[in-house]
Amino acid sequence: MGEQMGSRDSADDAQQQAEREMAKFDPAVTEQVAKYAGALVKRYFRAEVRGLDNFPPTGAALAVSNHSGGMLTPDVLVLAPEFYRKFGYGRPMYTLAHYGVVMGPIGDLLGRVGVIEASRESAAKALHDGAVVLVFPGGDYDAYRPTFGANIIDFSGRTGYVRTALEAGVPIVPVVSIGAQESQLFLTRGNWLAKRLGLTKARMDILPFSVGFPFGLSMLIPPNLPLPSKIVTEVLEPIDITARFGDDPDISEVDAHIRQVMQTALDGLARQRRLPILG
């Protein structure tokens, strides 16, 4: 009985935390950030977003994307302003992020533009409320993938996003992006070094090395400034999991299918790319 009560209390706490995070969303602040920071990012990276019509016109959806560009990833500032330009600021797009980002020095600002902690409870609450939720299953592991293997969809075996979409009864909208991994030369994720130094015990699975401007060789910190590599983001057709795989799908099979769809699209974008950085 005590264990059941403790479990229920924990679930209630997580639910309340999710509600508090979502309540921070401020459409006016989000519009200002999109207007200025979004416009700057779009111009600097000559960014294009294609396929916005593939988002359901109303209602909840889980947008699943590859993650690029290391610590200074521009992914959200490329996609979100275009999403709001099409659907308006009355339809929030919540972005799931590591708790360290949400609790960091700019956590309050991030909360006001829709960044929430990457937990099952937060995602479930946002989807239940009819919002679009953006998730990067590969996280830092994906964002620091080596530049010479940049066009590979690799979520490091993480499949929780599939369960999240299933439990919420919402479609998955795959999103692929190319270009940000050319904004500096990412050499290695440094998984082996993080493990050897015992950093994995602190939930730090990578210790990446990159080369860029102005610091040259960088080991995670300090972060180099990104080069103005051309970024193209493409939103793909939504996938109704139960319609395609049935009421009790194999999670790994669904994950493999989604990654294959994304890989095919990313390969197509890569074929259109003529030169690194220039696009």
Domains of the chain with CATH codes? 2-180+230-272 (3.40.1130), 184-225 (no CATH)
Please write the tens of the pLDDT for every residue from 147-161. Answer: 998 899 999 999 999
pTM above 0.95, yes or no: no
Measured between alpha carbons, how far apart are the two ends of the chain, in Å? 61
Residue 187 burial (CB count, 10 A) = 17
pLDDT at 197 over 70: yes
Q: How confident is the model at residue 203 (pLDDT cuts 50, 70, 90)?
A: low
The residue type of 130 is G
Please write the tens of the pLDDT for every residue from 30-39. Answer: 999 999 999 9
Read off φ and ψ for residue 41, nearest 5 degrees.
-65, -45
Least confident of 1-5, 239-243, 262-266: 1-5
CA distance readout (Å), 203 to 59, 72, 144, 222: 34, 20, 16, 20
| CA 115 from centre of chain | 10
| Nearest by Cα to 178 from 278, 63, 43 | 278
Q: How confident is the model at residue 11 (pLDDT cuts 50, 70, 90)?
A: low
